[in-house]
Chains A and B, each alone.
Chain A
Amino acid sequence: MRKINVLFSDFIKGLWQENPIFRLLIGMCPTLAVTSQVKNGLAMGLATTFTLLASSTIISIFRNFIPKEVRIPSYIVIIATFVTIVSLFLKANFPEISKELGPYVPLIIVNCLILGRQEAFASKNPTHRAIADALGMGIGFTLSLIALSSVREVLGMGTLLGHQVIFGNFRPWIIMLTPPGAFLTLGLLLGLVNIINKAVKNRKKKKQ
């Protein structure tokens, strides 16, 4: 039984306590860049999750064979291979999303979240824990991207996933689609998450 809830705790940690964007604050470059629409945010989240999952598995399987000196170059080649596969898959099956994500798909390779996760976790733990952890971090990352991109799309274009959401004479806030909007929204969302966490902690303390 202990083994199961270790896996479960690895998975859950990635979703909230150690959410990569709102708590660990890593993997921010794509987060700001592609979240002007929920569609792109979701695609980037899933692409990152796939890469994280695939390379986590491979690296934790071969963690003892790769000599310490060439560790970073070998890990980064494995990750780059999976990202190229994702990029070719997107170009073949979802051409318009691939065009919109554009230069940010290859940046998944150097996303601090993935190399950080590989190094810290996959290369020191057995495969099943690495998979649980990768899944948790990946889904946590995707959920945060969806949260950020829905705020920016609803305010910036008045639509959600392309469907008109706000009616009446709402003039969309164009700033939300530009870089300043991304920075401001994420900054405020971080503040909101901290407030929620403090509230949860206080309630826990009161209960004890």
Chain B
Amino acid sequence: MVKELILVFIATVLINNFVLKYFLGICPFLGVSDKLSSAISMGFATTFVMTITAPVAWLINNYILIKFDLPFLQYVCFIIVIASLVQFVEMVIKKFFPLLHQSMGIYLPLITTNCAILFMTLQLVLREYSLIKSMVFGFGSGIGFTLAIAIMASIREELEFRDVPESLKGPGITLIIAGILALIFVGLAGLIQVR
């Protein structure tokens, strides 16, 4: 059982990387990744929320959607809970842990409009993961997101001192670098066959 969890974790971080294979979280990926420090704290905040959203989504799906057999409410239920949960957690952290709020809490509202979170919840339902596996999947996808955004940030910091063609400055060159990174990650495909 543990072996399976590790395989799912490694597959989600490296092979089915959320940014470089499923194109998720591209808005923050382009926007935040010019400083390594902000990219990493952004990554960890996303991972934190993904790890708590995964079980919540699993519970909603199994105890509301499947029990009452209302498959069409899936998107609305997940998104209303994610949006309210994020708003509530952010307020709690801002009130009781101001220091934590300063470093990580500010990224929380970003989570509602983050494609990666909704995609992750829908995937763990589609693949019928168990509760534990869903949490590992959520955690893995967050780490995968952090990995991709951290690598990109360090490259872009380096880019400051290189001359980039005028028209490609900013997002253009970032996308091209992301293309090359995706090419590297495609090399890892087929390492593990796990669903």
Using CB atoms and an 8 Å cutoff, list the residues of chain A in contact with chain B.
Answer: 25-29, 32-33, 72-73, 76-77, 80-81, 83-84, 87-88, 103, 106-107, 109-112, 115-116, 175, 178-184, 186-188, 190-192, 194-195, 198
Contacts and interface: CB of A to CB of B under 8 A. Distances in A.
Interface centre among B26, B173, B176, B178 (most CB of A within 10 A): B26
A188 B113 contact: no
Per CB-CB distance, the 8 closest pairs between chain A and chain B, nearest first, are A187-B175, A183-B179, A184-B179, A194-B167, A187-B176, A28-B26, A180-B183, A32-B23
B176 A188 contact: yes
Contacts of A115: 112-113
A187 B173 contact: yes
Contacts of A111: 115
Interface of B: 20-27, 30, 72, 74-76, 79-80, 83-84, 87, 109, 112-115, 117-119, 122-123, 126, 165-168, 171-176, 178-180, 182-183, 186
Contacts of B180: 180, 184
Contact of A190 (B20, B26, B119, B168): B168
Contacts of B166: 194, 198
B16 to A, nearest CB: 11
A190 B83 contact: no
A179 B23 contact: yes
Contacts of B25: 29
B87 A73 contact: yes
24 contacts: A29-B25, A32-B26, A73-B87, A76-B112, A77-B80, A109-B79, A110-B114, A110-B118, A111-B115, A115-B112, A179-B186, A180-B186, A182-B179, A183-B175, A184-B176, A184-B179, A184-B180, A187-B176, A187-B178, A190-B172, A190-B175, A191-B165, A191-B168, A195-B167
Contacts of A25: 27, 30, 171
Interface residues of A: mostly helix, strand, loop or mixed?
helix
Contact of A183 (B87, B109, B182): B182
B23 A180 contact: no
Contacts of B114: 110
A72 B23 contact: no
Contacts of B119: 103, 107
B75 to A, nearest CB: 5
Interface centre among A182, A187, A188 (most CB of B within 10 A): A187
Contact of B76 (A27, A81, A180, A183): A81
Given A28-B30, A33-B22, A83 B75 contact: yes
A81 B72 CA distance: 10
Contacts of B79: 76-77, 80, 109-110
Contacts of A32: 23, 26
B182 A72 contact: no
B23 A33 contact: yes
Contacts of B171: 25, 187, 190
Contacts of B26: 28-29, 32
